[in-house]
Amino acid sequence: MIPIYICEDSEDELKGLQRLINKIIIDTELQDELEIVCATPDPYEILNKIKDSMQTGIYFLDVDLGPGIMNGIQLGINIKTLDSAAYIVMVTTHGEAAPLTFKYKIGAKDYILKEKQDEVKTRVMECILQAHTELSDFNKNKYRILTLMQDYTMLSMFQNQVYCFEVIAKTQRKIRVYEQCNMREVSSTLQEIKKQLDNTFFQCHKSYIINMEHVMSINHEQRQVVLDNGKEVPVSFRNLKKIESFFQEFCVAKAIAINRTVQ
């Protein structure tokens, strides 16, 4: 069961979002797989619930949670420390705050504006179906471990939580590993690491391997990939067409998986 959390300071909007999500769960016949476990205006109640949960969850957060209390951005930061694979969606009237989700590396999957009422239902449904697919895969593959060496110690990490690998310039056998809430340096080469990775990873540059699960967009002109934590990764000229094709196929495969979930 994947838990869903809602934090919204307006009682009417909290109840409205709760009703909408429950209807989506019923309409998509996911009652046995998704459940709202906490709908509250209190961000601390959300954090306390997470501490008692062993499951990664879906979070719908408002940005402004009232005076004298942590806002949704701060709540997202705290959620990530407790649930590193959290699927966070911001639902708010504060469109100007969207860049802060990148600045603070919350990795919000979507940013839904309340005033666009005609879009809210569709966007919330898309987020729930996408999150269900991703988190179901995450839970099934949560023991998919990558093993590397750090300071003469064996280091294990979940592949799902890795954003990218980067060769550290002017070093031998030194790689930076960017995770959802961490950055580590390990002793290895990209070629050695690739042997352990599944097909969600792509080497876009001689110095970088990226996790396609975390790709937000590809900038053809700048030859860059933008990840959902805001990090920009260079793409070599010869890999540009390859990654664009790979990304398109990857998105189609995910869309098919979502459609199967709906059916």
What fold is seen in the domain 145-262? OB fold (Dihydrolipoamide Acetyltransferase, E2P) (2.40.50)
Pairing of strands 224-227, 232-234: antiparallel
pLDDT at 187: 93
Report domain extents, the chain. 2-140, 145-262
**221 Cα distance to chain centroid:** 25
CB 112 within 8 A of CB 123: yes
Element containing residue 77 per DSSP (H, E)? helix 72-82
For 252-255, the CB contacts below 8 A with 24+ separation are: 254/130, 254/133
pLDDT at 141: 54
pLDDT at 65: 80
What fold is seen in the domain 2-140? Rossmann fold (3.40.50)
CA-based max dimension of the chain: 58
Per-residue pLDDT of the chain (263 residues; tens, 9 = 90+): 889 999 998 888 889 999 999 998 998 888 888 999 999 999 899 998 887 676 788 999 988 787 778 888 888 888 887 777 788 888 877 655 555 555 445 567 777 877 777 788 888 888 888 888 877 766 555 546 778 887 777 777 878 789 999 999 988 899 999 987 789 999 999 999 998 888 889 999 999 999 998 998 999 999 999 998 889 999 999 999 999 988 888 777 666 554 544 44
Separation CA 54–CA 128 (nearest Å): 20
